[in-house]
Amino acid sequence: MTMNATAPASARGAASDPPEPDRADTAPGGAPRRGIPRPKATPARRASVFLTAHPRVRLGFLLAAPLFWLGLVYVVALAALLVTAFWSVNSFTGEITTEWTLDNIITVLTGSLYQTVTFRTIGVALLVTIIDVALALPIAFYMAKVASPRARRLLVIAVLMPLWASYLVKAYAWRSVLSQDGILEWVLAPFGLHTPGYGLPATVITLSYLWLPYVILPIFAGLERVPDSLLEASADLGGKTWPTIRHVVLPMALPAIIAGTIFSFSLSLGDYITVNIVGGASQMLGNLVYTNVGAANNLPLAAAIALIPIAIIFGYLALVRRTGALDNL
């Protein structure tokens, strides 16, 4: 170490000495060079030097907090949920017995109530996803490819704005809009139409509204990454609007669209508040979980029901993976 430390110093001295007279006539003095002080060895500087030399320690500092969060709070909570699903409740005392049983799983898989609600929930989630993608694609395309930079910024803010308001407030706002004497009825009445009232259609409408920003933003980001020159190249080669969309825009935006659908689909699967507020008497999986945790005091059954959306999402991701849409993520 000492050898190495001294050798460059002497080499530097030897190298800088001879040209000194030569430099003197072009830049006399050379004082500005000497005027820059060496950085002081403060504790922060010493820590930086240590971290620079020890990449593993550096990585540890970077990832400690998020790994702690992911490991303990996220994975452990999820594992606890899984485990609970295999326990049962003593119907007499209401206490949880920690004996392993498949009863809850069998109940959930075979009970006609659970089957009906599962299919209803999947239907709602699919419908919400389709509506959101249909609405988000043109808006996202306009934002990414047509609008001026200024209009784009305004639109991004406009899309994000609903997220500033509470979920509950928005759900109740739709309850008022959809009510029998609400705005929707007032608007539709002259055309001989009526508000759908509370029920599954109202749930679909409200959920579509709630999750729309989560679908627009990834698709917008995805389309923004598609270079304009690709659209120009398509037109240049003879591609009119529809072939360009079908062969160039959609395939390139597919990973982003999938990302958006994962949001709207999974958020819809797990929702229970909206369906409570505007869903009338209809129930979704989230409601069943809620009643079993609360009124029925059957946490193991609730956990078993909660496994259904998790399983569905895993199925959906596997399906998406097979299309190859995740390869480009």
Partner 1 sequence: MTDPQPAIRLTGLTKEFGAVTAVDHVDLEIAAGEFFSMLGPSGSGKTTVLRLIAGFEQPTGGTIELFGDDVTKRAPFDRDVNTVFQDYALFPHMSVLENVAYGLRVRGIGRRERIERARRALASVRLEQMGDRKPSQLSGGQRQRVALARATVVQPKVLLLDEPLGALDLKLREQMQVELKEIQRELGITFIFVTHDQEEALTLSDRVAVFNNGRIEQLGTPAELYERPGSRFVADFVGTSNLFDDAVSRELLGRGGVHSVRPEKMAVGSGETGADVRNAPGTVVETIYLGSGIRLVVDLDAGVRVSVLEQNDRNRVHDDERGDRVVVSWHDDDVVALGGADAASAPAA
CB of 148 to partner 1, least distance (A): 11
Q: Where in 44-103 is the site for partner 1 (CB under 8 A)?
A: none
CB of 131 to partner 1, least distance (A): 26
Q: Where in 233-272 is the site for partner 1 (CB under 8 A)?
A: 233-240, 243, 247-248, 251-252
Applying CB under 8 A, which of residues 10, 42, 112, 229 lies at the interface with partner 1? 229
Q: Which residue's CB is nearer to partner 1, number 149 or number 190? A: 149
Q: Which residue's CB is nearer to partner 1, number 253 or number 289? A: 253
What would the 3-class secondary structure string for the chain be?
CHHHHHHHHHHHHHHHCCCHHHHHHHCCCCHHHHCCCCCCCCHHHHHHHHHHHCHHHHHHHHHHHHHHHHHHHHHHHHHHHHHHCCCEECCCCCCEECCCCCHHHHHHHHCHHHHHHHHHHHHHHHHHHHHHHHHHHHHHHHHHHHCCHHHHHHHHHHHHHHHHCCHHHHHHHHHHHHCCCCHHHHHHHHHCCCCCCCCHHHHHHHHHHHHHHHHHHHHHHHHHCCCHHHHHHHHHCCCCHHHHHHHHHHHHHHHHHHHHHHHHHHHHHHCCHHHHHHCCCCCCHHHHHHHHHCCCCCHHHHHHHHHHHHHHHHHHHHHHHHHCCCCCC
Only one of the segments 123-131, 165-173, 188-196, 229-237 lies at the binding site for partner 1 (rule: CB under 8 A); that segment is 229-237
Q: Where in 208-227 is the site for partner 1 (CB under 8 A)?
A: 227
Q: What is the size of the binding site for partner 1 (CB under 8 A)?
A: 18
> x/- string (CB under 8 A) for partner 1, residues 176-215?
----------------------------------------
Tokens of 146: 């047509």
CB of 255 to partner 1, least distance (A): 10
Q: Which residue's CB is nearer to partner 1, number 208 or number 244? A: 244
CB of 262 to partner 1, least distance (A): 20
Distance CA 265, CA 123 (A): 10
CB of 25 to partner 1, least distance (A): 14
Q: Which residue's CB is nearer to partner 1, number 20 or number 236? A: 236
CB of 59 to partner 1, least distance (A): 30
CB of 141 to partner 1, least distance (A): 17
Enumerate binding residues for partner 1 (CB under 8 A): 227, 229-230, 232-240, 243, 247-248, 251-252, 328
